[in-house]
Chains A and B, each alone.
Chain A
Amino acid sequence: MNRTNRKIFAAVVVFVLAGAYLAYSGARSSMAYYLTVGELLDRAGAMRQADIRLSGTVSAGTIAHDPVAGTLAFRVTDGARALDVRYRGVVPDAFKDGAEVVVEGRFDGRTFTASRLFAKCPSKFETEDDG
């Protein structure tokens, strides 16, 4: 390897290491367990203090939304089991009965307190069953 190539190689290595460090610290600060309702309930004890991203569907007829206070409560289910979610903030349009949702927050064993709420619009994602 000549001198120029060595210099370029060193620059590339520094560059890659910097990227890896950024990725590592970014991942550490935003990692969260990605669980279904059943998986969370099975591990409720161990997940007390953990950041959790929970996916499931909204149980029909359980939505209680107070638009003025900005509070929202609903039950999220994986089809077999369900748990209560509380949320405060802007509710996405795709959120409704039966919608696939992802909530981010913490679970105290009884209620899931969500700081962020995402709803997937069903027509965009389809599997064979509904397509």
Chain B
Amino acid sequence: MSPGAMGEIGALAISMAFAVSAYGTIVPLLGVRLRRPEVVHSGLRAVYANALLLAVAAAALLYALLTRDFGNAYVAGYSSRDLGFWYTLSVFWAGQAGSLLFWAVVLAGFSALAVWRLGHLRELLPYAAATLMGTSTFFTMVLTFVSSPFARLPIARTDGAGLNPLLQNPGMFFHPPTQYLGYVGTAVPFAFAVAALATRNLDDRWIRATRRWTLLSWFFLSWGLIFGMMWAYVELGWGGFWAWDPVENAALMPWLTATAFLHSVMIQEKRDLLKVWNLVLIILTFALAVFGTFLTRSGVLSSVHAFATSSLGPLFFAFILLILGVSFGLLFTRLGALGSRGQLDSLISRESGFLFNNLIFVGAAFAVFIGTVFPILSEAVTGLKISVGPPFFNQINVPIGLALLLLMGVCPLLAWRKASPRSLLRAFVVPGALAAAGAVLLIAAGVRHPAALAAFGLGLFAAAAVVQDVHRGAKVRRGHGEPYALALGRLAGRNPRRYGGYVVHLGIVLLFAGMAGSALGTERDVVLAKGETVRAGRYTLRYDGGGSYAQGKRLITEAALTVFQGGRRLAEMRPQRNVHTRREEQVMTEVAIRTTLREDLYVILSGIGDDGRANLRVIINPLMMWMWIGAGVLTLGTVLAAWPQAVPAAQARARLVAEAA
């Protein structure tokens, strides 16, 4: 088959998916209105047809990529003959049209899976399917009429322009698809929330049914952020991992609201509170996910006038308005039916702990949002664009992060409904003492950074509170004659969500420790002649010379360094600054990193002069490794939280009786 024909199949599949999505949006609702189950059923089948069609389109794009069809404008624009297999694959989501197709195909797959797995929610299903297919209609429309990955060039090229070398890094291989899986995953709970509103099934069924989806999407959003940070840290070569760039903020905002949602739904399930709030959160999360896709793809904030010139901008803007308009419209007309039966009994209770947790997450999301769109807002008000920088974001989010650590420690100690101050005080003793002792030790060790000290102290507090709570639970079980390890396992098995959540919290504490550590980092710029040394922290670095040599299409400039510690030779480091010479030059800084559990030694080569002197930046980033370990712990916790609950029959009966009583 000619490559062109395959592309035509792909383009056809997308336009058919557009039609099928539109069908799947309208027909299920029509079926409900006409009370014709077979019409609803036909509408639901469109969800599967859409998935099939978009899978064909995705296969066609993969085919074009792997056969290096440089008559395809997208392939020619981002791929090249010398690109290896994996990075050729990653071209799928490296550009605009491809990443929009990725969005659409993941959405189609998730929709099919949700309709299949949640088929028992008969009343909700038609509306949820219509919502998902409405979203699919938007993306397939953009793919059909605005940004097609199957556009042909008038004359096929012999080789493509190639993938930006900055994107040729494992972090960038995994980051975009993970981020998109997270974004798209929010569509499922959102769709069922809309369905709950539309059908006035306003109990917590939609929440319970989509709990795993929420967790999955949250997990992918988390890893999207983590992969992004890893990439920035090892590839961008400035020594940090987060810069409050609009694109980063776009990924952070839905994570913040999704995290709030994960917590607040528990209050609705347990106490029938916060119904409206939960709906608002999931609507915002989905809208922010679409906004995030839009920000990364439109450049509205990166260049001052892109919004007006990109036709994607107004389209996405209109779609986000539509999402917000329809869902808040529904919410508003259902307010009367959304009264909560429960109420808060005390300021000092688990419930109000969750309430403040939610305020914090939403407050953080709001602050990040304001900071991100500040130039647009200020232009609307004053006619001049004014932007805010990292100090704005740090000033708000550092205290917010510390408050979260505190809450993470306090919440497990708080009882539902009303905590008695005395029992609370007793529970505080051990974690509080540990936190204070840790802070004193750090001050004695010379740490003076107030925010970092607070972060370590509160982190210790939170971790100790979690461990103490788990230990108490296990001790009670051991009292019934179970060995300690078994007691721990059974405890977690009985309530995987709670203990999974605790493990996630420990992971977050480690992530915060890494971040606080990086605040204690030092950096120093030096120019060294051959044989000269520089001291950095515990290390002494000797510059052993360097130079440039050609390797394929790259000009490599490398400095050789020997690292000593206390007179002992520790390692060699070879930071590089390379120039890739394809069609146009691209500089690639390859930093050298020596990682230990205690700290990262991070060396950037700015350049080597004609006289052989090297300009280096030497950075010590304490505890960086713990960020990545924390990410691993977070993963374990999420898996545990999603684990099916083990409920022995006798206990289940006992609980039913207890609930009835």
Please list the residues of chain A having a beta carbon within 8 angstroms of any beta carbon in chain B.
Answer: 4-5, 7-8, 11-12, 15-16, 19, 22-23, 25-27, 29-36, 53, 55, 65-70, 89-98, 100, 104, 118, 120-129, 131
Since A30-B390, A68-B607, A92-B236 are in contact, a sample of 10 more A-B pairs with Cβ atoms closer than 8 Å, ordered by chain A residue number, is A15-B359, A34-B386, A36-B304, A70-B606, A90-B606, A93-B237, A121-B166, A125-B303, A127-B299, A131-B96
* In the complex, per-residue mask of B356-394: 1 if CB is within 8 Å of any chain A CB, else 0: 100100010001001100110000000011111111111
Inside 8 A of A55's CB, which chain B residues have their CB?
Answer: 303-304
Interface core residue of A7, A27, A53 (most chain B CB under 10 Å): A27
B495 at the A interface (CB under 8 A) = no
Task: Provide the residues of chain A in CB contact with B604, threshold 8 Å.
Answer: 90
| A4 lies within 8 A of B346 (CB) | yes
Q: Looking across the interface, which residue of chain A has its beta carbon closest to that of B399? A: A22
Q: Which residues of chain A come closer than 8 Å to B344, judged between CB atoms?
A: 4-5, 8
Docked-complex contact A8 and B355, CB < 8 angstroms = yes
User: B302: which A residues are within 8 A, CB to CB?
Assistant: 100, 120, 125
Interface: B264 (CB within 8 A): no
Q: A4-B346, A23-B370, A90-B604 are in contact. Are A123 and B78 (CB under 8 A)?
A: yes
B386: which A residues are within 8 A, CB to CB? Answer: 31-34
Closest to A65 in B: B607
B396 & A4 in contact (Cβ 8 Å cutoff): no
B311 at the interface (CB under 8 A from A): yes
A98, chain B: closest CB distance, angstroms: 8
Encoded as 1 (CB less than 8 Å from any A CB) or 0, chain B from 143 to 174 comes to 00011000000000000000110110000000
Give Cα A3 to B540, complex, Å: 63
Q: A33 to B382, alpha carbons, bound, how many Å? A: 11
B468 within 8 A of A: no
A-binding residues in B (CB < 8 A)? 78, 94-97, 146-147, 163-164, 166-167, 236-238, 245, 247, 296-299, 302-306, 309-312, 343-347, 352, 355-356, 359, 363, 367, 370-371, 374-375, 384-396, 399-400, 525, 527, 577, 584-589, 604, 606-609, 611, 613-615, 617
**CB <8 Å contact, A121 and B164:** yes
A55 to B303, CA, bound (A): 7
A to B contact number (C-beta, < 8 Å): 176
Q: A32-B387, A123-B94 are in contact. Are A93 and B586 (CB under 8 A)?
A: yes
B615 near A70 with CB under 8 A, answer yes
Is the Cβ of A8 less than 8 Å from the Cβ of B347? yes
**Alpha-carbon distance between A89 and B386 when the two chains are bound, in angstroms:** 25
Shortest Cβ gap from B384 to chain A (Å):
6
CA distance A118 to B245 in the complex (A): 10
Instruction: Give complex CA distance A48, B109 in Å.
Output: 56
**Taking each of B97, B299, B394, B577, which has the highest tally of chain A beta carbons within 10 Å of its own beta carbon?**
B299
**Whole-angstrom distance from the CB of B141 to the nearest CB of chain A?**
15
Which of B167, B346, B391 contacts A123, CB < 8 Å?
A: B167
Q: In the complex the two chains form, is B384's CB within 8 Å of A33's CB? A: yes
Interface centre among B164, B311, B388, B589 (most CB of A within 10 A): B388
Chain B CB count within 10 A is highest, among A5, A12, A68, A96, for A68
Task: Determine which residue in A16, A19, A33, A53 has the highest number of CB atoms from chain B within 10 A of its CB, and name it.
Answer: A19
Q: Are B237 and A124 in touch, CB under 8 angstroms? A: no
- What residues of B have a CB within 8 angstroms of the CB of A118 in the complex? 245
- The reply to whether A29 and B167 form a contact with Cβ atoms under 8 Å apart is no
**Contact residues in B for A53 (Cβ distance below 8 Å):** 387, 389
Interface centre among B96, B393, B586 (most CB of A within 10 A): B96
A residues near B167, Cβ cutoff 8 Å: 121, 123-124
Given contacts A67-B615, A126-B95, contact A34 B387 (CB under 8 A): yes
Instruction: Given A36-B304, A67-B615, answer yes or no on A22-B395 (Cβ-Cβ < 8 Å).
Output: yes
